């Protein structure tokens, strides 16, 4: 069955060991790429899932679709490989002292893929349409905080009701689309370095170079994305050389690749955990939850599922968030089955038996569940796996909250710790584990109202510590992610969010 990757789940972006090649080096590569823009190099990429949703930028829910269309759509600003926001459709942006007013200057002469020039009206239309139609409740919430948005000559001025230190990430997700164009869902038109050429469901999507791009023009004339929904078929196609590039490979696939492709390693940027239903017995008892944490040997888990690759997690934020990531929590619960048994006894839950519901289409989560069952058995806990079909999982576990425990991974839909942490606030609609902690709510409130960056970082770390202390979930790992590229090409770079930037890839010679 397919390995579809949805918004809920995972992702690409990676804190690569190759990140040493800083922005400087990147610029050189981009320059070379620019000079090679007349080339007709073609890249064939394997996608591990279909682009099966609407391609309208505000309707995209599948992370795998977002990742490809990153090349087609741009906002006023867009993220770079370091997670900073750089100007895109805007040529400059300015934030007022109080953090309430954002001024973006529209870049001159930016053309949409249909040949029309980007106007201020298109920008206003994009913000309006995004606010009204986006399927992302967090972006919707951030946009609803806009008090006023006006055109001032070539500038767009946005005034916020309250300061929001991660507002630029919201701006980057408002991609600029033409006001007069109605077919975004099937034939996307944006301003990015690649034009969306064609798409045939379950077969392929083709991107071609945007020769009118305002920035450095891509070296690749054409990118063909072949759609697979079987990881094994994708792998054999890659190994045989039918594909030039593939991402989201497993450690085993990366290791057994025999065709000399270059493999880069990063992390998937997701929080994989055994999520526990805090609202109901047996996991409404903190001691029982802590017992599970002590019963899991994370190093062994990493060895078994990832050959030791990947990163251990101790709370709901993954390492690519760098300064926000509370590294000291990773080993908050060292492996100690005796302590687990003790805690269970204290809670009167000896011989604990529970069911782990896990979506059957995600091999990595099923594998993890398998390992957990073994580890729990060693601590005298009887866990049973129930594989459920993905849509049933969404309906029953995620929406219906009818579960005891489940293994899943959450990714960040945008570049702010809120994307991962806001979920667990008591009254959040997506708080499917029914986590309720006044201290946590207070810490998150703190994070939102702190004016200073350091204070905000501290507040986010405090929130993570509360999650860890109360053992909200059994936090496990951020899985390793591997990208393979034909040595005839070079220039692949990891982003700290879900994106594969084809414009940086160019022929090696």
Partner 1 sequence: MKIRKNAYFITGGILSAILTVIIVTGLFWTPYSTTAMNAQEKLQPPSWKHILGTDNFGRDVFSRVMEGAGTSLIIALLVVVIGCVCGIVFGSLCGYFGGAADLILMRICDAITAFPAMLLALVIVSLTGGGAGNIVLALGILFIPSFTRVVRTEYASCRDLNYINAARLMGVSNPRILYAHILPNTLSVLIPTITIGFNNAILAEASLSFLGIGIQPPQASLGSMLKDSQNYLASAPWYALGAGGAIVLMILAVSLLSEGVQQGTCRI
Partner 2 sequence: MKQIVKKLISLIITLLLVSLLAFLAFQIIPGDPTTKLLGTNATPEKAAELRSELGLDRPVLVRYLEWLGGFVRGEFGTSYTYRRDVGELLADKLPVTALLTVMSFILTVIISIPLGIWTGRTRSKAADHISVILDQILMAVPPFFFGMLACYFFGIVLKWFTPGAYVALSESVPGCLGYLVLPALSLALPRIAMTVRMLRSSIQTELTQDYVYTARSRGLSEWGVLRRHILRNAMIPVVTFLAVSAAEIMTGTIIIEQVFTIPGLGRLLISSIGNRDFPVVQAIVVILATWIIIVYYIADLLNHWMDPRLRTD
Question: Does residue 4 interact with partner 2 by CB under 8 A?
Answer: yes
Query: Are the beta carbons of 76 and 88 closer than 8 angstroms?
Result: yes
Residue 373 binds what, of partner 1, partner 2, none (CB under 5 to 8 Å, by partner type)?
A: partner 1
Please return the burial class of 142, using the count of CB atoms within 10 Å of its CB with bins 0-12, 13-18 and 19+.
buried
Q: Which is nearer to partner 2, 52 or 197 (CB)?
A: 52
Q: Which of residues 183-242 bind partner 1 (CB under 8 A)?
A: 231-232, 235-236, 239
Q: Which helix (H) or strand (E) holds 441?
A: helix 438-449
| 140 contact, one of partner 1, partner 2, none, CB 5-8 Å limit per kind | partner 2
Nearer Cβ to partner 2 (116/239): 239
The option from partner 1, partner 2, none interacting with 273 (CB < 5 to 8 A, set by class) reads none
C-alpha 483/C-alpha 373 separation (Å) is: 30
How far apart CA 388 and CA 364 sit, in angstroms, is 14
Shorter beta-carbon distance to partner 2: residue 8 or 245: 8
Instruction: Compare residues 23 and 308 and give the one whose CB is closer to partner 1.
Output: 308
Q: Is 402 in the site for partner 1 (CB under 8 A)?
A: no
On the 0-12 / 13-18 / 19+ scale of CB atoms within 10 A, 271 is: buried
Q: Which is nearer to partner 2, 75 or 282 (CB)?
A: 75
Which entry of partner 1, partner 2, none binds 192, CB below 5 to 8 A by partner kind? Answer: none
Q: For Cα atoms 373, 317, 354, give the angle at the middle one, nearest 5 degrees.
A: 25
Q: Is 416 in the site for partner 2 (CB under 8 A)?
A: no
Question: Quick one: 127 exposed, middle or buried, by C-beta within 10 A (0-12, 13-18, 19+)?
Answer: buried
Q: Which strands make up the sheet holding 155-160, listed edge to edge?
A: 90-95, 101-106, 155-160, 146-152
Look up residue 73 and give its two tokens: 């759509």
Residue 76 contacts residue 176 (beta carbons within 8 Å):
yes
215 binds partner 2 (CB under 8 A): no
Give me the least distance between CB of 379 and partner 2, in Å please. 32
229 makes contact, choosing from partner 2, partner 1, none, with CB < 5 to 8 Å by partner type, with partner 2
SS3 state of residue 413: coil
Residues with Cβ < 8 Å from 459, sequence gap 6 or more? Answer: 443, 444, 446, 447, 450
Which option in partner 2, partner 1, none does residue 300 bind, with CB closer than 5 to 8 A by kind? partner 1
Q: Quick check: 1 binds partner 1 (CB under 8 A)?
A: yes
Question: What residues pair up with 102 in beta bridges, in sequence order?
Answer: 95, 158
Residue 1 in contact with partner 2, rule: CB under 8 A: yes
Out of partner 1, partner 2, none, which partner does residue 248 contact, by CB within 5 to 8 A per kind? none
Question: Which one of the spans 14-22, 67-75, 277-285, 396-404 is the region binding partner 2 (CB under 8 A)?
Answer: 396-404
Q: How many residues bind partner 2 (CB under 8 A)?
A: 52
CA 111 vs CA 116, 157, 223, 238, 290: distances in Å: 6, 21, 21, 35, 56
Q: Which of residues 437-466 bind partner 2 (CB under 8 A)?
A: none
Secondary structure (H, E, C), 270-335 = CEEEEEECCCCCCCCCHHHHHHHHHHCCHHHHHHHHHCCCCEECCCCCCHHHHHHCCHHHCCCCCC
Beta strand 245-249 with 204-209 is unpaired
Q: Please, which residue, 308 or 348, has the CB nearer to partner 1?
A: 308
The least distance separating partner 2 from the CB of residue 134, rounded to whole angstroms, comes to 9
The token pair that represents 195 in the structure block: 């034009």
Task: Tell me how far, at minimum, the Cβ of 141 lies from partner 2, in Å.
Answer: 9
Which is closer to partner 2, CB of 226 or CB of 448?
226
Per CB under 8 A, contacts with partner 1 among 235-294 are 235-236, 239, 250, 252-253, 255-256, 258
* Surface-to-core class of residue 1, CB atoms within 10 Å of its CB (0-12 exposed, 13-18 middle, 19+ buried): exposed
- Site map (CB under 8 A) of partner 1, residues 346-385, x = contact: -------------xxx-x--xx-xxx-xx--x------xx
By the rule CB under 8 A, 131 interacts with partner 2: no
Coil, strand or helix at 199: strand
Residues in the chain, overall count:
509
User: Between 23 and 255, whose beta carbon lies closer to partner 1?
Assistant: 255
Tokens representing 134 are 């986006």
Q: Which residues are at the interface with partner 1 (CB under 8 A)?
A: 1, 231-232, 235-236, 239, 250, 252-253, 255-256, 258, 300, 303-304, 307, 359-361, 363, 366-367, 369-371, 373-374, 377, 384-389, 392
Q: Which residues are at the interface with partner 2 (CB under 8 A)?
A: 1-2, 4, 6-8, 46, 50, 52-54, 59, 61-62, 135-138, 140, 185-186, 200-203, 226-230, 232-234, 236-237, 239-242, 361, 389-392, 394-396, 398-399, 413, 429-430
């Amino acid at each position: 069955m397919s390995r579809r990757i949805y918004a809920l789940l995972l992702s690409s972006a990676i804190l690569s060991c190759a990140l040493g090649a800083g922005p400087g080096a990147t610029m050189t590569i981009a320059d070379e790429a620019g000079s090679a823009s007349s080339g007709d190099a073609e890249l064939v990429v394997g996608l591990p899932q279909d682009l099966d949703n609407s391609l309208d930028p505000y309707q995209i829910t599948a992370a795998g679709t977002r990742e490809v269309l990153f090349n087609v759509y741009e906002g006023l600003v867009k993220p770079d490989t370091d997670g900073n926001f750089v100007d895109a459709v805007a040529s400059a942006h300015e934030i007022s002292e109080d953090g309430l007013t954002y001024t973006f200057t529209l870049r001159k002469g930016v053309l949409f893929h249909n040949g029309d020039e980007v106007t201020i009206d298109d920008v206003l239309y994009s913000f309006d349409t995004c606010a009204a139609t986006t399927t992302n409740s967090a972006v919707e919430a951030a946009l609803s905080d806009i008090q006023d948005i006006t055109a001032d000559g070539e500038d767009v001025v946005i005034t916020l009701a309250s300061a929001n230190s991660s507002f630029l990430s919201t701006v980057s997700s408002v991609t600029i689309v033409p006001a007069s164009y109605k077919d975004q869902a099937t034939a996307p038109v944006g301003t990015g370095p690649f034009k969306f050429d064609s798409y045939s469901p379950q077969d392929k999507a083709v991107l071609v170079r945007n020769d009118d791009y305002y920035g450095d023009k891509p070296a690749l004339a054409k990118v063909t994305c072949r759609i697979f929904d079987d990881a094994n078929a994708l792998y054999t196609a890659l190994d045989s050389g039918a594909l030039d590039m593939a991402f989201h490979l497993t450690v085993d696939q990366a290791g057994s690749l025999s065709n000399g492709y270059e493999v880069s390693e990063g992390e998937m940027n997701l929080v994989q955990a055994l999520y526990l239903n805090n609202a109901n017995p047996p996991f409404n008892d903190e001691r029982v939850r802590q017992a599970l944490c002590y019963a899991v040997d994370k190093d062994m888990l990493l060895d078994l599922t990832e050959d030791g690759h990947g990163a251990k997690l101790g709370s709901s934020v993954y390492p690519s968030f760098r300064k926000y990531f509370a590294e000291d929590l990773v080993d908050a619960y060292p492996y100690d089955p005796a302590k687990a048994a003790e805690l269970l006894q204290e809670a009167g839950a000896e011989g604990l038996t529970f069911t782990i519901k896990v979506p059957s289409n995600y091999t990595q989560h099923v594998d993890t569940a398998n390992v957990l069952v073994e580890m729990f058995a060693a601590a005298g806990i009887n866990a049973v796996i129930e594989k459920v079909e993905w849509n049933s999982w969404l309906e029953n576990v995620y929406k219906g909250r009818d579960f005891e425990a489940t293994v899943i991974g959450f990714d960040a839909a945008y570049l702010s710790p809120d994307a991962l942490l806001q979920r667990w606030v008591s009254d959040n609609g997506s708080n499917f584990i029914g986590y309720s902690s006044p201290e946590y709510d207070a810490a998150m409130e703190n994070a939102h109202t702190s004016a200073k960056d350091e204070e905000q970082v501290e507040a986010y770390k405090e929130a993570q510590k509360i999650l860890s202390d109360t053992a909200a979930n059994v936090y496990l790992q951020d899985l390793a992610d591997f990208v393979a590229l034909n040595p005839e090409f070079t220039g692949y770079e990891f982003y700290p969010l879900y994106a594969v930037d084809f414009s940086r890839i160019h022929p090696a010679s």
